[in-house]
Structure 1
Amino acid sequence: MTASEDRDELADQFDQWRHYVQRRPELRRADADELEDHLRGSVDELVAAGLHADEAFLVAVKRMGSLDELSREFAREHSERLWKQLVLTGDTDSPAAASRSRRDLVAMVACAVGAAVSVKVPELFGVDLEDDPAFYAPNIGLFALPWLAAFLAWRRRAARPVIGVLLALFALGAVAANAYPLAEDSQSLVLSAIHLPIALWFVVGLAYVSDDLRSPRRRMDFVRFTGEWFVYYVLIALGGGVLVLFTTGTFKAIGISSETLVGQWLVPCGGVAAAVVAGWLVEAKQSVVENIAPVLTRLFTPLFTAVLLGFLVTFAFAGGGIDVEREALIMFDLLLVVVLGLLLYSISARDPLGPPVLFDKLQLALVVSALAIDVLVLLEVLGRISEYGTTPNKAAALGENVLLLANLVWSAWLLFRLVRGRAPFAALERWQISYLPVFAGWAWVVVLVFPPVFGYL
């Protein structure tokens, strides 16, 4: 390896290490700079002593000690920092950061209000939420996600060409949701209602990475953002549920019905506005909730592994087939998507430089179990298609299971090599990041192509 290649590899390793350090809420930028200076000095000494650059880096990191221990030490010395992050927005010790936080807050409020207003606009044209569920089902993502993307694009200072692409993709989504003559009981309507929000979420991802479109690390940041956004949104939804209960109860106590207020205003407007608020919280709190990621993955990975293994054992002894009607297909696909989500979220939270551990083996068991279920569902779907013909639901399930099969097969292989110490963690991370556009493309195919191909069935 040449000296230039050594420098490039060492620069990549420092970038990964610094990115991981900056995700710790206990450590400020100045702390990270201090640690990096110390690490670079140690690496230089080891290289001067005759070690290769990559060996020197690993030895220096090991000498520095566990990052968890360093973070805990900083937390003990500066305990007020984490409380400021939890209850305030941004670094209040910096006037520039405080000003930026206020601007972010104003932008978030504007986008949240825009989302709340947009969900009521169809009523001006006689389209009611209760009477026209076939309109709102595929359009719900269009009321919330463009405003979330607008907030992220504003915060990232997205270039005009990127903004143009975002507008074009959301417009395409609006056409897909409303141009086709789909009946209320149409399978294509259900598929659009499921897949269009997924397709639009990847458009939100484009807004998120608009400050560095070519960076794989930024794409993994979006995976992490997705998990944290979901956590915040669920928490907001739970709080909103409590608010609805109190609103209903208090108005009922004085003999007034609040069904219109709750059903027509509070729930729809709050639901779409919360999507923007949750995104702002993820951005504003800067890694506070990120500490939940390892906890969630370590809690649910063994549980899902046990459930999948239990299903496979039961299936083997029962000897029956798998129900592949619409509800069952959706359930199995959601199960496999959750497994993939757990894998992605754990990848985003893992120390990229850490050695293989027991949890990696547990993830391998989870992926292999999901792979076996995917194969069983695929065989059942192919059997039903060959016997009864295809439908939009079965075709969508077939395509999604094929995509998941390809992803899970290679993920299992990379995890196997990882736990054997024969492949770096970066290979698994690159594979998942490179595969995300495949899921986005398939979601758009289902939304745009399936309705006319299947005669709007």
Structure 2
Amino acid sequence: MTTEPARGNVLEEQIGQWRGFVRRRQAISAPDIEEMEDHLREQIADLESSGLDSEEAFLVAVKRMGNLDAVSREFAREHSHRLWKQLVLVPEADGGPGARRWRELGVMLAFAVGAGVAVKILVSAVDDEMALLRNLPFVVLPFLAGWFAWKSRAPWRVCAVTAALAAVPALAVNLYPFTQTPGPYPAPGMTEVLAFTHAPVLLWLLAGVLHTGGRWRSHEQRMDYVRFAGELAMYLALLALGSMVLLGLTAAVLSLAGVDLEPFMEDWLLPFGVPGALLVAAWLVEAKKSVVENIAPVLTRVFTPLALLMLVADLVVLLVNGPLTTVDRELLIIMDAVLVLVLFLLLYSISARDPLAPTGIFDWLQLALVGAALAVNAVALTAMLTRIAEFGFTANKTAALGLNLVLLVHLAWSAWLLLGFVRGRRPFTAVERWQTAYLPVYAVWAAVVVLVFPPMFAFA
């Protein structure tokens, strides 16, 4: 039999979920949300006094809030498996949502064209390939961030502070006196490589501040950005695959007529198509928020067991590869990439899970996945420390060591919270909040690698 405290906890989680959803609606301000929540709680109290239990009262109260039909309808579509569709799904109002979507499409296309023009100018003005790679994220991501700011109506002060913070790594990667490795074929130094590979991570997390409309402290907003990032990756992959097929067929047909498509692709299609695909994919993710079907739960259930098998195989490879001092450096780099991929999968899986659903076998699979990742991380850390003890510190070894330590803390506490959840000792919200609370640590670490490592290792 359900106790009164348990019912109260369930009701508070339902209200918290509703509040988080309403916060994502760009036209509703924080004071309005508080007023709406007060009204919702009053409705729930009245319904409970008439004999309904807390869950029934919550669902009926949302339906009765007639001035929130549009928001409630979207909420219903994302939670249709929990009777939302039957209770609050009402016909769309003519003109409103469609007109807004067309306006958003037009603004997105304007930002996409702007990004393409900026990339075209950069490619025309810069001959050095390394300089082009360094500056490409600083040219493309501001347009995506600008679209975030427009859509979320971020305050101009937040936009200004975010732009100022993004300018710091941009100046660093362009003004630092990086040195090249000596030899017949000079190559960029390791600190330069580390700087331009970590700068996009920092920029992406800064862009998340604008995606949240400046409400980065909100757990729901940060989790929404995690969900957005995962779905954006899926859409980009689909767009890339579809574009490759279409371009391949087009090039094959034109080649029969003696037309070479390669110059057009290099001069125009790639400079405009790549940043354009990023903006289009972002728009698609935001546009499908109101669609009932969500691919996230399906993808996470398919890839979680596969990732677990991959980690077990990687762990076996690390353990049977001989003494840890002989572990190949490239193998350790690949292991780090695998751990980062597993982390993305973990974040995406958690963002896609219904926090009110009971525990199941998939939660145990996630716990096993995190445990296997911890084992791989521990072995990789041991190998790195052994190599550092024998050969000394270098920029890339220090960066790899730091990343593994950051991942270790994240995965270890995630495992502890997941263990408590599957054993019924903690709510799933504790697991969720840890993921989003830890995201700023990655931004800090990326900033350290970009700004501190080059002078620390003499720009080599």
User: Which TM class, normalised by the smaller chain length?
Assistant: 0.7 to 0.9
Kindly provide the amino acid, as one letter, of the partner of residue 350 in structure 1.
Answer: R
How many residues were matched structurally? 417
User: 1:235 pairs with 223, 238, 250, which one?
Assistant: 238
Identity %: 45
The answer for the alignment partner of 1:278 in structure 2 is 281
Is 2:417 the counterpart of 1:404?
no
Is 2:81 the counterpart of 1:68?
yes
Deviations 1:380-410 (A, max 9, x none): 1111111111111111100000000001111
Q: How does 1:23-34 map to 2 (within 5 A)?
A: none
Report the CA distance shift for 1:373/1:235 in structure 2 as closer, same or farther (over 3 A).
Answer: same
Q: 2:139 & 2:213 partners in 1: Cα distance?
A: 21
Deviates further, 368-377 or 176-185: 176-185
Q: 1:328 & 1:375 partners in 2: Cα distance?
A: 15
Deviation at 1:142, TM superposition (A): 1.6
The answer for the alignment partner of 1:163 in structure 2 is 159
Kindly provide the amino acid, as one letter, of the partner of residue 266 in structure 1.
Answer: L
Q: 1:245 & 1:74 partners in 2: Cα distance?
A: 48
Deviation at 1:176, TM superposition (A): 2.6
Deviates further, 194-203 or 234-243: 234-243
CA contact (8 A) 1:414 1:427 kept: yes
CA contact (8 A) 1:153 1:210 kept: yes
User: 2:199 pairs with 196, 207, 229, which one?
Assistant: 196
CA contact (8 A) 2:59 2:87 kept: no
User: 1:172 pairs with 165, 168, 171, which one?
Assistant: 168
CA contact (8 A) 2:304 2:366 kept: yes
The answer for the alignment partner of 1:251 in structure 2 is 254
CA contact (8 A) 1:228 1:290 kept: no
The answer for the alignment partner of 1:97 in structure 2 is 97
Deviates further, 236-245 or 434-443: 236-245
SS in 2 for 1:456: coil
Q: 2:293 & 2:196 partners in 1: Cα distance?
A: 30
Report the CA distance shift for 1:392/1:264 in structure 2 as closer, same or farther (over 3 A).
Answer: farther
Please tell me the root mean square deviation across aligned C-alpha atoms, in Å. 3.4
SS in 1 for 2:324: coil
CA contact (8 A) 1:112 1:276 kept: yes
What 5-or-longer segments of structure 2 have no aligned partner? 25-38, 62-78, 181-186
The answer for the alignment partner of 2:426 in structure 1 is 423
Q: 1:95 & 1:61 partners in 2: Cα distance?
A: 29
Q: 2:336 & 2:168 partners in 1: Cα distance?
A: 25
The answer for the alignment partner of 1:345 in structure 2 is 348
SS in 2 for 1:119: helix
Deviation at 1:320, TM superposition (A): 4.4
SS in 1 for 2:294: helix
CA contact (8 A) 1:199 1:443 kept: yes
Q: How does 1:308-319 map to 2 (within 5 A)?
A: 308-316=311-319, 319=322
Q: 1:179 & 1:440 partners in 2: Cα distance?
A: 21
CA contact (8 A) 1:143 1:272 kept: no
Is 2:230 the counterpart of 1:217?
no
Deviation at 1:449, TM superposition (A): 1.2
Deviation at 1:330, TM superposition (A): 3.0
SS in 2 for 1:120: helix
Kindly provide the amino acid, as one letter, of the partner of residue 152 in structure 1.
Answer: F
Q: 2:304 & 2:362 partners in 1: Cα distance?
A: 9
What 5-or-longer segments of structure 1 have no aligned partner? 24-36, 82-90
The answer for the alignment partner of 1:13 in structure 2 is 14
Report the CA distance shift for 1:222/1:96 in structure 2 as closer, same or farther (over 3 A).
Answer: same
Deviates further, 424-433 or 98-107: 98-107
Deviations 1:117-151 (A, max 9, x none): 111112443x24xxx32112222212221101100
Kindly provide the amino acid, as one letter, of the partner of residue 95 in structure 2.
Answer: P
Is 2:387 the counterpart of 1:384?
yes
Q: 2:21 & 2:422 partners in 1: Cα distance?
A: 21
The answer for the alignment partner of 2:68 in structure 1 is none
Q: 2:161 & 2:293 partners in 1: Cα distance?
A: 30
Report the CA distance shift for 1:139/1:57 in structure 2 as closer, same or farther (over 3 A).
Answer: farther
Q: 2:168 & 2:197 partners in 1: Cα distance?
A: 16
Q: 1:20 & 1:299 partners in 2: Cα distance?
A: 26
Q: 2:419 & 2:140 partners in 1: Cα distance?
A: 40
Q: 1:167 & 1:70 partners in 2: Cα distance?
A: 43
Deviations 1:268-318 (A, max 9, x none): 321112111111111122254971111111001001111212333454455
Deviation at 1:246, TM superposition (A): 2.8
The answer for the alignment partner of 2:376 in structure 1 is 373
TM-score (norm 2): 0.81
CA contact (8 A) 1:228 1:282 kept: yes
TM-score (norm 1): 0.82
